[in-house]
Amino acid sequence: MGMPLRRFQVVTLTDAAAERVRDIVARSEKPVIGVRVGVRNGGCAGMAYTVDVAEAARPGEDVVEDKGATVLVDPKAVLFLLGTRMDYRTDKFASQFVFENPNQTSACGCGESVSIEPAKPEALTA
């Protein structure tokens, strides 16, 4: 009999990110359960993170519950986001979600796009 499969939490949230997700849900004019994160092709570095409100989970999505907040991860983005810490930061010019991603290899100067490699298979067994 083999070892049971471990289920990894794809992303974790800082207190600030969880608070912002909870605030988005509370202030939404329509019923939402959390935010959906993913990646898309585009930008000068090749990819960009996406964050949208989520009304319901879609088939195949990872549902992450962390600190009272719900984050749904697009199934096409799981290997790119595995091990990512999601933060929310406010400075003089902007307020935004920030992704501290161990799979990110570079970012462009504008801060809007990144280069991300899929997680290595050994990361899935750690």
The 10s digit of each residue's pLDDT in 9-47 is 899 999 999 999 999 999 999 999 999 999 988 766 578
Residues whose CB falls within 8 Å of the CB of residue 19, separated by 6 or more in sequence, listed in order: 69, 88
Contact status, residue 69 vs residue 33, Cβ threshold 8 Å: no
Please calculate the CA angle 33-99-31 and round it to the nearest 5 degrees: 10
Three-state secondary-structure class, residue 70: strand
Note the Cα 31 to chain centre separation in Å.
21
**pTM to 2 decimals?**
0.80
Q: Check residue 57 and give its pLDDT.
A: 95
What residue ranges do the domains of the chain occupy? 11-120
Phi-psi region of 106 (alpha: psi -120 to 50; beta: other; left: phi over 0): beta
Chain Cα centroid distance, residue 66: 12
Residue 24 CB-half CA count within 13 A: 23
3 state DSSP class of 91: coil
> Of 91, 109, 29, 111, which is closest to residue 99 (Cα–Cα)?
111
Query: 77 and 60 in contact (C-beta within 8 Å)?
Result: no
Q: What is the rounded average pLDDT for all residues in the chain?
A: 84
Q: What is the CATH number of domain 11-120?
A: 2.60.300.12
Please say if the pLDDT value at position 117 is more than 50.
Answer: yes
* First-to-last C-alpha distance (Å) of the chain: 20
Position 126 confidence tier, pLDDT thresholds 50, 70, 90: very low
